[in-house]
Copies of this chain bind each other. A is one copy, B any other.
Amino acid sequence: MASKLIAIVAGVGAGTGASVARKFAAAYPVVLLARNPENFKSLAEEINSSGGKAIGISTDVSDSKSVQNAVEIIKKEFGPDVGAAAAIFNASGGFQRKPFLELSEDSFMQSLAVSATGGFLFSQATLPFLLKGVQQKSQHPPSLIFTGATASVKSNAQMSSFSTGKWALRALSQSLAREFGPKGVHVSHAIIDGVIDISRTREWLKELGPEAKLNADGIANDYWYLHTQPVTNFTWELDLRPAVEKW
């Protein structure tokens, strides 16, 4: 692992975040951000014990001080001039599917706090590292990748507490793609349109067969592919869904 560039992954838990972290850890030291240390501890150990390098930082992406603290720790750990090859925003706030008039303000704001505020704070924190990655001539254009969902492009009944945050995050990613593409940073947005196969969803959609759910390692491959696109061929957005998914 010759690279001195790092990868930063927010929203590491079971599923996509962990798979993405493992994938990028094969090429870069990885920084794992999650609110709850339980979500990155064993993953960091796994990566460190298998030849990679990972540090976990307990971070609330919706809190600017917490994000700033993570930046400080990263600089202390990797040096003040460290650049990043990739920053992946995979965090998602909890939300409730319930009649609109029964939603509490707190519950409505939860998803916005993570997706909109968190997306903003994460981008402001990581773009300086990514721009340094450009200067330090990273092998692949430094990438800022956001995880979206079906609710990023469709806002169903009783889903507004989730979709408002996801639409805001998609808007953020599009604006950043237009501003930072010309500066050499590749900003992407992936619409994950289906259930991801993780332990929590093990029993879901069984009737549709073993391939009815998205594979988290597959998503990590897709993100890695986005990361390897050259500056002449940037993808801003792609959708991802199981072949059998109805859409």
Contact = CB atoms under 8 A, between A and B. Distances in A.
Contacts of A225: 225
A85 to B, nearest CB: 16
- How many copies the complex holds: the figure is 4
Interface residues of A, number: 74
A178 B247 contact: yes
Interface in A208-235: 211, 213-215, 218-219, 221-222, 225, 229-235
Contact of A179 (B123, B158, B180, B219): B158
A190 to B, nearest CB: 9
A105 B197 CA distance: 36
A39 interface: no
Interface stretch (A22-30, A46-54, A76-84, A165-173): A165-173
Interface stretch (A1-9, A86-94, A108-116): A108-116
B244 A230 contact: no
A181 interface: yes
Given A100-B179, A155-B172, A171-B167, A222 B218 contact: no
A135 interface: no
A174 B100 CA distance: 12
A176 B160 contact: yes
A64 interface: yes
B239 A236 contact: yes
A182 B221 CA distance: 22
B242 A213 contact: no
Given A105-B121, A163-B174, A235-B238, 16 more contacts: A100-B175, A103-B124, A105-B117, A116-B168, A155-B175, A157-B178, A164-B171, A166-B171, A168-B168, A214-B232, A218-B230, A231-B242, A233-B241, A233-B242, A234-B243, A237-B239
29 contacts: A64-B105, A100-B127, A100-B180, A101-B124, A101-B127, A105-B120, A112-B168, A155-B172, A156-B178, A157-B179, A158-B175, A159-B175, A160-B171, A163-B171, A164-B172, A166-B171, A181-B243, A181-B244, A182-B243, A186-B243, A211-B232, A213-B232, A214-B232, A222-B229, A225-B225, A231-B242, A231-B243, A232-B243, A235-B238
